Amino acid sequence: MTTMDRDILIGGDIGGTHMRVALVERHGLILHQSRAATDVQAGVPDVVKRLVRQCLEMMEMAHRMGRRVCAIGLGVAGKLDRRKGAVLFSPNLPPMNGYPLARDLRRALSVPVVLENDADSFGVGESLLGAGRGTPNWIGLTLGTGVGGCIILGGRLWRGDELGFSGEFGHMVVDPQGPLCACGLKGCLEAHASSSALQQGVRAAVACGRLSSGPLHAACSSNALTSELIHHQACLGDELARELFHRVGWTLGLAIAGLFSALGIRHAVIGGGVSNGWDQFIEPLMDSVARHCSMLEPADMVIRRSELGDDAALIGSAHLAWLQVPAAVNGLQSHTE
Amino acid sequence: MTTMDRDILIGGDIGGTHMRVALVERHGLILHQSRAATDVQAGVPDVVKRLVRQCLEMMEMAHRMGRRVCAIGLGVAGKLDRRKGAVLFSPNLPPMNGYPLARDLRRALSVPVVLENDADSFGVGESLLGAGRGTPNWIGLTLGTGVGGCIILGGRLWRGDELGFSGEFGHMVVDPQGPLCACGLKGCLEAHASSSALQQGVRAAVACGRLSSGPLHAACSSNALTSELIHHQACLGDELARELFHRVGWTLGLAIAGLFSALGIRHAVIGGGVSNGWDQFIEPLMDSVARHCSMLEPADMVIRRSELGDDAALIGSAHLAWLQVPAAVNGLQSHTE
């Protein structure tokens, strides 16, 4: 076995609720993965300690297989300073803001660590092995607590001016008269098409007296509202839930139509937890994108669902780490971007 | 003089009102230019005949200087089939739709002819010698009868999937409740920030009885309304005119903010006739872009005014023609994109 054959990666996805970490082959095969609560309320040092423990377990597992973890890639939602390996602004992990996460992990684990935006990691994963395979130019949208996004151009992740963000479709204003977003703006895509927006839609219906009984009302009262429950109720025919998913599709269509017109492309891939409600939003989405893009025939637009689900970000962050490890470390000359 | 030194280009810009044609050095210097009415009502064969005559004059002038026109680039608003050299859909020149303009000119002039979107030509011109010089990634917006746009990435024109359009920011919906656009959609940027939108704003004020006297009313009645007059009235303090220019800035800010968030960039260049009203819209534009982009600090956003004005599209279309002429024709091996 050559040095390069021994090399293996860790890909991670640090979300507001869970941290997931995986042992990933260079070309994307996941060998093992683990999940732990993020529990950011316990404090950032505690989060980092548990993350280090998860990574150490993966490194030991690699060692038992005669392999060596040569780099770690971590996907995090928010604006990042990739050079310093620090989170600049993370809407779902505010205590993490300014924290040099990559530096601390590198010190604890003696392995190069790179931070990546979670939606960018998703994009690279889907591009490598999922719904973006073989499509040079496409946009990706991840519908979770917030709405993340990525742009793949010429088969590569587009990083813009390296300002720490790109593909932030969630914070494009789709309706200046729309609801308030977590970022402070009004009418962002995220305020219509995220799991937070679905939940907020139910809460608003309770507050204005439109919803006064039933499972959604009960879940709202007991603080147990989830996008899964709202989707389930939509499938059972609940009118409010159907309307909320209709709005998800309609606003996604508006945003995607604008991006197709702007970028001169015709492919999009949608992932994230809320995309499990596909059956409830794809029809209004296709109507909306056809209605809002005067440049393309509806038949030419391709909107695909993520093929890798939660694995996309793990595969993508591992791959991005591999691309960025200096050639000297992993015995290759020319695999960097 | 080598063959290459003899080579010179023609750049053209075919607008709804005027056709402009220029003799352009390979690196962008304009030696001479001429302008003629487009008068598309006279029929496409007549338009082409006059365009051929304009080009022939330029070719004769080149000949007298001991030079040779090696390619012609023509900027046209709309969706194009660049491979076939045909206009697919031109909002300002509907009789031109489907017409193989490049083929007919090539036959008449025996010189390679390429069609380019006029806003893309603008972008290449400004990138080469104007406000985009030295900035690798930026978006351009041309505010004329309609709103055109272009994307420059890594110093090059981004053509997307080669679908015949890219950078069509004018047809991004900035307000789903906004006015009807010429393309059939509601609330496009073009329906707020073009010279047509300014004029339509005055006509709507007359129709609803808000405007019943004064220079704008008179111009409206005599069908002599122009964006220049509306700008002049705004400078004199006319409230309606100021509101209309405020809306230009506000909606441009909305669109640019969304594009900065999406592309992860921070530079824009604005040109076209309506940009002569800069003093009346730049303040609301800067307010709006700062308010609608949660990813960037206002101080980091750079919005520049076109430096080349009407010359940008002539220089850009000539340069694009030069880049696409086969190496064999102009004696070079490696200047193509």
Q: Which of residues 143-202 of B touch A (CB under 8 A)?
A: 149, 151, 153, 158-163, 165-169, 171-177, 181, 183-185, 188
Question: Could you tell me the pLDDT band of residue B188, with boundaries at 50, 70 and 90?
Answer: very high
The predicted structure's pLDDT at residue B91: 74
The predicted structure's pLDDT at residue A182: 84
Distance (Å) from the alpha carbon of A115 to chain B's nearest alpha carbon = 17
Looking at beta carbons, which residues of chain B come within 8 Å of A184? Answer: 294
H or E element at residue B319: helix B311-324
Q: Which of A175, A184, A264 sits opposite B160 (nearest CB)?
A: A264
Burial of A304 (0-12, 13-18, 19+ CB in 10 A): middle
H or E element at residue B74: strand B68-76
Burial of A73 (0-12, 13-18, 19+ CB in 10 A): buried
Contact A161 B265 (CB under 8 A): yes
Tell me how far CA of residue A168 lies from CA of A141, A198, B253, in angstroms. 9, 19, 17
Q: Between chain A and chain B, how many beta carbons pairs sit less than 8 Å apart?
A: 134
Q: ipTM score here? A: 0.94
Long-range pairs, B105-110, Cβ under 8 A, ≥24: B105/B48, B105/B51, B105/B52, B105/B55, B105/B72, B105/B74, B108/B48, B108/B52, B109/B52, B109/B55, B109/B56, B109/B59, B109/B72
Q: What is the mean pLDDT of chain B?
A: 93
The predicted structure's pLDDT at residue B291: 95
The predicted structure's pLDDT at residue A89: 86
The predicted structure's pLDDT at residue B335: 44
CA distance B248 to B275: 10
pLDDT at B86 over 80: yes
Structural tokens at position B237: 């303090």
DSSP state of B154: T
B315-330, pLDDT tens digit by residue? 999 999 999 876 545 4
Q: Which of residues 3-62 of A touch B (CB under 8 A)?
A: none
Contact B266 A161 (CB under 8 A): yes
> CA B77: distance to chain centroid?
7
Positive or negative, the CA dihedral A313, A317, A323, A327 is negative
Looking at beta carbons, which residues of chain A come within 8 Å of B185? Answer: 291-292, 294
The predicted structure's pLDDT at residue A326: 67
Contact A160 B263 (CB under 8 A): yes
Contact A137 B158 (CB under 8 A): no
CA distance A49 to A43: 10
Chain B: residue nearest A161 by CA?
B265
B236-273, pLDDT tens digit by residue? 999 999 999 999 999 999 999 999 999 999 999 999 99
Give the residue ranges of chain A where pLDDT is below 70. 1, 326-337
CA distance A148 to A271: 9
Task: Give the strand order in the sheet containing A68-76.
Answer: A30-37, A18-24, A7-14, A68-76, A113-117
Give B117's strand partners: B76
Contact of B142 with B76, CB cutoff 8 Å:
no
Looking at beta carbons, which residues of chain A come within 8 Å of B171? Answer: 261, 293-295
A45: helix, strand or coil = helix
Contact A264 B296 (CB under 8 A): no
Looking at beta carbons, which residues of chain A come within 8 Å of B153? Answer: 153, 158
H or E element at residue A162: none
Helices A239-263 and A278-292 cross at an angle (nearest 10°) of: 40
H or E element at residue A73: strand A68-76
Looking at beta carbons, which residues of chain A come within 8 Å of B179? Answer: none
Task: Give the strand order in the sheet containing B302-305.
Answer: B156-157, B147-153, B138-143, B267-271, B302-305
Chain A: residue nearest B256 by CA?
A172
Model pTM score: 0.94
> CA B182: distance to chain centroid?
17
B230-244, pLDDT tens digit by residue? 999 999 999 999 999
Test the B interface: residue of A174, A263, A289, A293 with most B CBs within 10 Å:
A263
Contact A295 B185 (CB under 8 A): no
B164: helix, strand or coil = coil
Chain A: residue nearest B141 by CA?
A262
Looking at beta carbons, which residues of chain B come within 8 Å of A163? Answer: 264-266, 295-296, 300
Contact B172 A79 (CB under 8 A): no
Contact B165 A295 (CB under 8 A): yes
B125-174, pLDDT tens digit by residue? 999 999 999 999 999 999 999 999 999 999 999 999 999 999 999 999 99
CB-based contact (8 Å) between A319 and chain B?
A: no
Looking at beta carbons, which residues of chain A come within 8 Å of B264? Answer: 158-163, 165-168
> CA A49: distance to chain centroid?
23
The predicted structure's pLDDT at residue B183: 84
Looking at beta carbons, which residues of chain A come within 8 Å of B151? Answer: 262-263
Contact A173 B254 (CB under 8 A): yes
Residue whose structure tokens are 């949660």 = B294
The predicted structure's pLDDT at residue B1: 62
Burial B267-279 (b: 16+ CB within 10 A, else e): bbbbbbbbbbbbe
Question: How large is the average pLDDT for residues B181-201?
Answer: 94
The predicted structure's pLDDT at residue B329: 52
B37-58, pLDDT tens digit by residue? 999 889 999 999 999 999 999 9
pLDDT at B225 over 90: yes
The predicted structure's pLDDT at residue A328: 43
